Amino acid sequence: MKFSEMPDDYRKFTHDFCQARSTQLIALTKEATDAVIKQVFLVNAGGAVAVLSFMGASPEARELLLAKWALVFFGVGITLVIVLSIIRYHFFAGLALGYNADLRRFFDDEIDEDELLSNDSNRVDNKTRDRLMHGAGYLAVLAFVAGAIVGACSLFVPSKVRATAPTVSQAPLLLEPCIRRGQPLFPPS
């Protein structure tokens, strides 16, 4: 049965139910997004703190090129989380400001209910913003993974490889601890 064909009392019930469900889904989405942003920020910040602690432990550790790169990856991850948070803030602020402006116009009889709902729906649907938000989020996670891998590899780099730009002849020294031909990175004890 179409919404317009429903009896008035059932139509009101349906409308209220749909509004409540929509509000619930929006709240759940926002809550889940907030949790993910906090977690990604914390793991990147934790990784940066771990690398800084490792580098502060000894002068030799401060000279490791891979440790510096791990710190860069964690810093990039933190920056991407901040960018994601800014995009989200502008998204939610834009939704609220636009909807409130349309409500004023609706109550002043400048627009009808269909235009009010259509404008709100158009504000929500923004593929570019969605791609930016998803991209920043996934890249922040990848930055953490890259930082963790590079940081772990820096623990096994021979002391003869320093912060100078590695030469082609040093490449095997940099990669050998992480790629031990057929041997596990952490052999069983």
Q: What is the DSSP string of 39-79?
A: HHHHHHHHHHHHHHHHHHH-HHHHT-HHHHHHHHHHHHHHH
Hunting for tokens 């690398």 — which residue is that?
Answer: 51
| Beta carbons within 8 Å of 40's beta carbon, 6+ residues apart | 77, 81, 137, 140, 141, 144
Cα–Cα distance, 184 to 83 (Å, whole number) = 37
What residue ranges do the domains of the chain occupy?
34-155
> What six digits make up the tokens of 57?
């432990």
Verdict on whether the full-model pTM lies above 0.85:
no
In 10 A of CB 143, how many CB atoms? 23
Question: How many residues are there in the chain?
Answer: 189
Long-range contacts of 180-189 (CB under 8 A, 24+ apart): 185/152, 185/156
Q: How many CA atoms lie within 13 A of 20 on its CB side?
A: 6
| Integer Cα distance of 84 and 64 in angstroms | 31
> What is the 8-class DSSP label of residue 185?
S
C-alpha span between 18 and 13 (Å, rounded): 9
CA Rg value for the chain:
26
Mean pLDDT by 10 residues, the chain (189 residues): 72 76 77 84 86 80 82 89 84 79 79 81 85 90 90 73 50 53 53
Instruction: Give the CA dihedral 28, 34, 39, 42, nearest 10 degrees.
Output: -160
